[in-house]
């Protein structure tokens, strides 16, 4: 069981969503593409890159996989139930493939990377397996399948950022867009599969990010979310073309794991790796560059890492009205021993210090988090420290998960997954109940205030109401009026709230 309070970076309602574009322009190869995505915002953003690569080759998208020539599923490995969801979906594609034997079925993303060619043996109907850094090779791989072979490319890269590919975003609302600023992760949190499925961290050239955001703004978009697993370690070396010098493509991840395993029980070999030299473009610099595109363009970002978020970043957020006052700062556990086992490289006091810095520099800033319950050997007292940390911070939102052991990770190799499911679940329920209280309290305090809202469209429940988000990332619902339309900002007087939504009325312009 995973529970979460909705947030834009992992939108439960978008899981399994098919990407639909307009008719192919220019070339048309007469073939139909179906692509659906699971997992985090990075995966949805990657599917837009894949669609761009294939529509460029003349594919047209369809929302009906039964009539597609190529069916792609972009997958997530973060927890076991995410993988199970994909396996169930693949079974549904089996039936369609029996009726349409020429159909090419491909698995993309983290599960493809984790299982590699094993996928072809396990899931007999899969023809193509493509890891997150090999999407440029998809047209060739599909051709290989057309020639009667099965095809795999799971090479990870130290350089690939798809910086030159303009993602197609035609089924978005035309208002908010995700923009990847980096790929991969070097952190090796012991529970996490991401460093193995997405490879080493690399940052994207800053000017290409600014160009993409400017283009989005010129096309009417009013909010960009800058994406990375650890945005605070974004770094572009102006002296080198790439943030990594090794250009050789190779399967990565294992080298980091070896380093950690060799470093002994206290992980002393893995210190926070974020160091800045003169001339580097940092995340604080990048935020300023994007903020300067237009005061009418809102900037969000995710995810921040407690060990790397600097005061410079906080001052950049404070300095620009259009950088949203909202930080997603996953804590995972409130106990220092568990944090050490998780290899998060910060402790309880460090996290509290970062919270104090946010409250000092940007007092109005909303903070959300991720929490894992029942990590290996977590005691009842240690779980209580997570609850007391929640009381200390009063997070606005949280993603809350039971620990799910992932094969190949440090934790799977080193620690017993020894907390019974019933205990993990009970602890999760306690965390969720506390979070609901805190979310509700936070929103109740906003009743009577005026919030600047970017209108995103009709509310989920009624076409008589508009829905949008406040600067602090809370959903705000208010009656439709001829004076406003989606994509515009409106000041809304908050009159009441539920546990997750503010409700109000627009102020006269």
Which two three-digit tokens encode residue 99? 């009726």
CA angle (162, 163, 165) in 5-degree steps = 65
Question: In this complex, which beta carbon is closest to ligand SAM, that of residue 194 or of residue 490?
Answer: 194
Shortest distance in whole angstroms from residue 425 CB to ligand SAM: 13
Binding region for ligand SF4 (CB under 6 A) out of 1-9, 148-156, 187-195, 277-285? 187-195
Shortest distance in whole angstroms from residue 365 CB to ligand SF4: 21
Among 403, 466, 478, 484, binds ligand SAM (CB under 6 A): 403
Which two three-digit tokens encode residue 408? 């190949």
* 339 binds ligand SAM per the rule CB under 6 A: no
- x/- map, 285-324, ligand SF4, by CB under 6 A: --------------------x-------------------
Shortest distance in whole angstroms from residue 365 CB to ligand SAM: 17
401 contact choice in ligand SF4, ligand SAM, none (CB below 5 to 8 Å, kind-dependent): ligand SAM
* 229 binds ligand SAM per the rule CB under 6 A: yes
Question: In this complex, which beta carbon is closest to ligand SAM, that of residue 222 or of residue 305?
Answer: 305
Question: In this complex, which beta carbon is closest to ligand SAM, that of residue 57 or of residue 425?
Answer: 425
Shortest distance in whole angstroms from residue 228 CB to ligand SAM: 8
Question: In this complex, which beta carbon is closest to ligand SAM, that of residue 40 or of residue 290?
Answer: 40
Among 406, 427, 438, 442, binds ligand SAM (CB under 6 A): 406
- For ligand SF4 (CB under 6 A), the number of binding residues is 10
* 372 binds ligand SF4 per the rule CB under 6 A: no
Which two three-digit tokens encode residue 390? 């929640």
Question: In this complex, which beta carbon is closest to ligand SAM, that of residue 308 or of residue 471?
Answer: 308
Q: Do residues 219 and 170 make contact, with C-beta atoms less than 8 angstroms apart?
A: no
* 44 binds ligand SAM per the rule CB under 6 A: no
Which two three-digit tokens encode residue 43? 């995966």
Among 5, 78, 90, 316, binds ligand SAM (CB under 6 A): 78
For 228-368, where are the alpha helices, taking DSSP H only? 254-262, 283-291, 311-319, 336-341, 348-361
* 410 binds ligand SAM per the rule CB under 6 A: no
Shortest distance in whole angstroms from residue 1 CB to ligand SF4: 20
> Coil, strand or helix: which one is 231?
helix
Question: In this complex, which beta carbon is closest to ligand SF4, that of residue 299 or of residue 342?
Answer: 342
Q: Do residues 334 and 362 make contact, with C-beta atoms less than 8 angstroms apart?
A: no
- What CA–CA distance (Å, rounded) separates 18 from 38? 10
Strands (DSSP E) contained in 325-396 are: 326-328, 366-373
* 326 binds ligand SAM per the rule CB under 6 A: no
Closest CA to 305 of 268, 353, 345: 345
Which two three-digit tokens encode residue 450? 């005026």
> Coil, strand or helix: which one is 129?
strand
Name residues contacting ligand SF4, limited to 195-234 (CB under 6 A). 195, 229-230
* 194 binds ligand SF4 per the rule CB under 6 A: yes
Cβ neighbours for 420, distance < 8 A, ≥ 6 positions apart:
none
Q: Which long-range contacts (CB under 8 A, 24 or more apart) does 478-484 make?
A: 478/453, 478/503, 478/504, 478/505, 478/506, 479/505, 479/506, 481/506, 483/508, 483/509, 484/455
Q: Helix axis angle, 348-361 relative to 380-393, nearest 10°? A: 10
Q: Do residues 110 and 73 make contact, with C-beta atoms less than 8 angstroms apart?
A: no
- x/- map, 268-307, ligand SAM, by CB under 6 A: -----------------------------------x-x--
Compute CA distances 176 → 296, 393, 468, whole Å.
13, 28, 11
Binding region for ligand SF4 (CB under 6 A) out of 121-129, 181-189, 397-405, 497-505? 181-189
Question: In this complex, which beta carbon is closest to ligand SF4, that of residue 192 or of residue 317?
Answer: 192
Shortest distance in whole angstroms from residue 373 CB to ligand SAM: 9
Q: Do residues 364 and 403 make contact, with C-beta atoms less than 8 angstroms apart?
A: no
Shortest distance in whole angstroms from residue 317 CB to ligand SAM: 18
Question: In this complex, which beta carbon is closest to ligand SF4, that of residue 221 or of residue 403?
Answer: 403
Give the number of other Cβ atoms within 10 Å of residue 244's Cβ.
15
- What CA–CA distance (Å, rounded) separates 115 from 119? 6
Among 154, 189, 371, 376, binds ligand SF4 (CB under 6 A): 189
> Coil, strand or helix: which one is 255?
helix
Q: Using omega within 30 degrees of 0 as the cis cutoff, is the peptide bond preceding 303 cis?
A: yes
- For ligand SAM (CB under 6 A), the number of binding residues is 18
Phi, psi torsion values for 163, nearest 5 degrees: -60, -35
Question: In this complex, which beta carbon is closest to ligand SAM, that of residue 176 or of residue 303?
Answer: 303
Q: Pairing between strand 397-402 and 366-373?
A: parallel
* 192 binds ligand SF4 per the rule CB under 6 A: yes
Q: Which residues bind ligand SAM (CB under 6 A)?
A: 40, 78-79, 191-192, 194, 229-230, 303, 305, 330, 332, 370, 372, 401, 403-404, 406
Q: Which residues bind ligand SF4 (CB under 6 A)?
A: 185, 187-189, 192, 194-195, 229-230, 305
């Amino acid at each position: 069981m995973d529970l979460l309070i909705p947030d834009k970076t992992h939108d439960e309602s978008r899981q399994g969503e098919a990407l639909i574009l307009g008719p192919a322009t220019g070339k048309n190869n007469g073939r139909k593409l179906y692509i659906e995505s699971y997992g985090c915002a990075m995966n949805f953003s990657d599917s837009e890159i894949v669609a761009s690569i294939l529509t460029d080759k003349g594919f047209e998208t369809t929302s009906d996989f039964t009539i597609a020539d190529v069916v792609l599923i972009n997958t997530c490995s973060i927890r076991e139930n995410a993988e199970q969801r994909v396996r169930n979906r693949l079974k549904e594609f089996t039936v369609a493939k029996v009726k349409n034997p020429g159909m090419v079925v491909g698995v993309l993303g983290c599960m493809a990377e984790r299982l590699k060619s094993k996928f072809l043996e396990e899931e007999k109907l899969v023809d193509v397996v493509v890891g997150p850094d090999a999407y440029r090779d998809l047209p060739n791989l599909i051709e290989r399948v057309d020639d009667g072979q099965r095809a795999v490319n799971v090479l990870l890269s130290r350089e690939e950022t798809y910086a030159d590919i303009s993602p197609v975003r035609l089924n978005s609302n035309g208002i908010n867009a995700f923009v990847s600023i980096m790929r991969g992760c070097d952190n090796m949190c012991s529970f996490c599969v991401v460093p193995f499925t997405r490879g080493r961290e690399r940052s994207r050239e800053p000017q290409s990010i600014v160009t993409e955001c400017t283009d989005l703004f010129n096309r009417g978009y009013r909010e960009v979310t800058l994406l990375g697993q650890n945005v605070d370690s974004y770094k572009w070396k102006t002296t080198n073309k790439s943030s990594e010098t090794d250009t050789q493509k190779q399967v990565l991840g294992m080298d980091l794991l070896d380093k950690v395993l060799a470093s002994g029980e206290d992980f002393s070999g893995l210190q926070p790796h974020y160091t800045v030299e003169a001339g580097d473009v940092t995340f604080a610099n990048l935020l300023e560059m994007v903020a300067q595109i237009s005061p009418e363009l809102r900037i969000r970002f995710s995810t921040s890492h407690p060990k790397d978020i600097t005061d410079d970043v906080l001052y950049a957020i404070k300095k620009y009205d259009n950088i949203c006052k909202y930080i997603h700062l996953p804590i995972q556990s409130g106990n220092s021993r568990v944090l050490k086992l998780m290899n998060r490289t910060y402790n309880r006091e460090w996290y509290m210090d970062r919270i104090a810095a946010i409250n000092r520099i940007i007092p109005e800033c909303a903070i959300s988090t991720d929490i894992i319950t029942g990590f290996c050997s977590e005691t009842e007292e240690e779980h209580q420290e997570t609850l007391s940390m929640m009381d200390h911070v009063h997070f606005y939102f949280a993603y809350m998960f039971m620990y799910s052991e992932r094969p190949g990770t440090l934790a799977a190799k080193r620690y017993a997954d020894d907390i019974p499911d019933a205990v993990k679940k009970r602890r999760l329920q306690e965390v969720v109940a506390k979070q609901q209280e805190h979310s509700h309290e936070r929103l109740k305090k906003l009743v009577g205030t005026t919030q600047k809202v970017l209108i995103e469209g009709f509310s989920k429940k009624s076409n008589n109401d508009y829905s949008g988000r406040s600067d602090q990332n809370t959903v705000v619902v208010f009656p439709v009026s001829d004076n406003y339309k989606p994509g515009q900002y409106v000041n809304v007087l908050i009159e009441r709230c539920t546990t997750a939504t503010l409700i109000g009325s627009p102020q006269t312009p």
